[in-house]
Structure 1
């Protein structure tokens, strides 16, 4: 596996909008609800239904806000519930329903709201990144990786936090040659020049391999190439799910730290510190918050 990792302090904006936030609903018309914010600080509203969209404003404690409809967006684990629902406000920005106390009956939004910029006519609606690339900042890389990692958890039960930590470590936040050129974010290798069902080919690279005694040396190995970044995430999850040597890890899908340890024991990496490095990443950036409750 490639080892090209660069430590980085993640911008706090990637955390949930406000971890101590509670929105309390009050009486409102059938097609809308008036809510008041209960928060020790402020709640971030955004111009799209996910935490990587631009923050439009900060909603103060006890400030009244009217929400008119709901959309499906980033799945969040809030202090009220776990949900992918986001509520659109009367001025067109969004707040996560994970922080709304009560459950007002809101209609589905018919038309996505443009970014609330008064000087721009018909502002385009931002789109969710399709996957990470080799030209993103660390913050952008993580935001773009979350949807693919969560879909992998739905398909394979591999914890999202584990997939994200492995993608960060194996690709160096997407900046390794393997990930930037060949969209391989997990150091997945070819064997006998066979790339498997999800890859598009093989490419030889120099890499570091370590023996059982922890002695590492440089060697050449062939790694899988992918047509899309999504294919890399799919291949990674399916490999962990289908290879017998990783079967023990799936006894710990609710315990990401132990899941990582079992994958390491199964031979995913030769680095003797592999488990420690992944657990440190999951802890430092609180990647556990993105795990789905399946």
Structure 2
């Protein structure tokens, strides 16, 4: 046997003919594995059976623990203590961990086998089919679920400041969140659902077949408590924008039914102020779509979708009411009477604020019946 033949036989066997196919030997790096370090700060890192947050947990790793990574695959994005990444690392025992929690200086090779557990990168949704929203949570991570309910299984969790891609909105479980209290859930591009109570987003359309009619609920406070809660925001509205506090409170009583309306209970919107092309100003926290009945000047009524502002507090709604009147030129004549509540609301009504011919009488009757004038402290 010649020298060249002996050298060929001594080399590692890389390719074997097998039934017409090829069997690839692993790369040297993949065979030996790459040593890396877990960085989770506090809670243990979960090892999963598949490269996904929904994969079965098969173990945990502590902070600073060394691991041997064989190769990497693509899976759902994870925001970790090291990075945000779609990479998942396969360990020497076959388990997977999110690369978002791993540090190391060596390059991790891609898994060369077509493992059924490896997940290809999904195509990016077409622009215009979704709207970007931002999660705002003072309560920790927010769950993205398989359905619009707090009882639905969790697909993943997202933290404060994370952006999500909302497609449309549906009604689901009522949630008290950091942005608002609402029954709206936003369907995301991956099919998951996140409560609108934690998301600041442009107006979302209704999901096909869905209704966002506000729930009819009973207020948790009495009229006396409503008045007490109204004073601070109403007086701040006068100081900032010049609308008499008595007028603001009376309008809130009439337009929200002492806080009984769906808008006020779900979105803290006491005056029915709408969003304009997705814009909600500086005092509101977002927009909420509702199916409403509206009527034309000719008296023809029809069903439509309207987008209303949502507020973090009652006071924000009251202050935005003052801002709304101040910035609309049609109401400017009223601001000649910022210290005369009756003349102020007369001019607001005459400028077309309400079509009800008895609106002025209703407002002044409320101001007199509940002595709302006592809240007009001109300072």
Q: Give the TM-score normalised by the residue count of structure 1.
A: 0.50
Equivalent residue, structure 2, for 1:139:
224
Distance in 2, matches of 1:211 and 1:273, equals 19
| Runs (5+) with no aligned partner, structure 1 | 1-132
Render the CA deviation track for 1:81-116: whole Å, top value 9, x for unaligned: xxxxxxxxxxxxxxxxxxxxxxxxxxxxxxxxxxxx
How far the C-alpha of 1:212 sits from its partner, in A, is: 5.4
Matched, 1:196 2:287: no
Distance 1:207 1:271, change over 3 A: farther
1:55-204 paired onto structure 2 within 5 Å: 134-204=219-289
Render the CA deviation track for 1:37-79: whole Å, top value 9, x for unaligned: xxxxxxxxxxxxxxxxxxxxxxxxxxxxxxxxxxxxxxxxxxx
Distance in 2, matches of 1:180 and 1:216, equals 29
Distance in 2, matches of 1:216 and 1:155, equals 39
**Matched-pair contact (CA < 8 Å) for 2:230–2:315:** no
**Matched-pair contact (CA < 8 Å) for 2:234–2:315:** no
Equivalent residue, structure 1, for 2:315:
230
Distance in 1, matches of 2:293 and 2:333, equals 26
Distance in 2, matches of 1:289 and 1:266, equals 26
**Matched-pair contact (CA < 8 Å) for 1:206–1:218:** no
User: For structure 1, which segment, 215-224 or 238-247, has the greater mean C-alpha deviation from structure 2 after superposition?
Assistant: 215-224
**Matched-pair contact (CA < 8 Å) for 1:212–1:270:** no
Higher Rg of the two aligned structures: 2
**Matched-pair contact (CA < 8 Å) for 1:153–1:292:** no
How far the C-alpha of 1:161 sits from its partner, in A, is: 0.4
**Matched-pair contact (CA < 8 Å) for 1:208–1:219:** yes
How far the C-alpha of 1:197 sits from its partner, in A, is: 1.9
Equivalent residue, structure 2, for 1:289:
374
Render the CA deviation track for 1:136-158: whole Å, top value 9, x for unaligned: 11110111101111111111121
Render the CA deviation track for 1:169-218: whole Å, top value 9, x for unaligned: 111111111000001011111122322222122222355656657x5846
**Matched-pair contact (CA < 8 Å) for 1:135–1:180:** no
Distance 1:139 1:281, change over 3 A: same
**Matched-pair contact (CA < 8 Å) for 1:183–1:227:** yes
User: For structure 1, which segment, 187-196 or 158-167, has the greater mean C-alpha deviation from structure 2 after superposition?
Assistant: 187-196
How far the C-alpha of 1:262 sits from its partner, in A, is: 1.2
**Matched-pair contact (CA < 8 Å) for 1:210–1:270:** no
Distance in 2, matches of 1:223 and 1:259, equals 25
Distance in 1, matches of 2:356 and 2:292, equals 12
Give the aligned length: 161
SS of 1:136's partner is: coil
Equivalent residue, structure 1, for 2:337:
252
1:205 to 277, 290, 295: 290
Distance in 2, matches of 1:232 and 1:151, equals 11
SS of 1:203's partner is: strand
**Matched-pair contact (CA < 8 Å) for 1:203–1:225:** yes
Q: Which has the higher contact order (CA 8 A, sep 6+)?
A: 1
| Runs (5+) with no aligned partner, structure 2 | 1-217
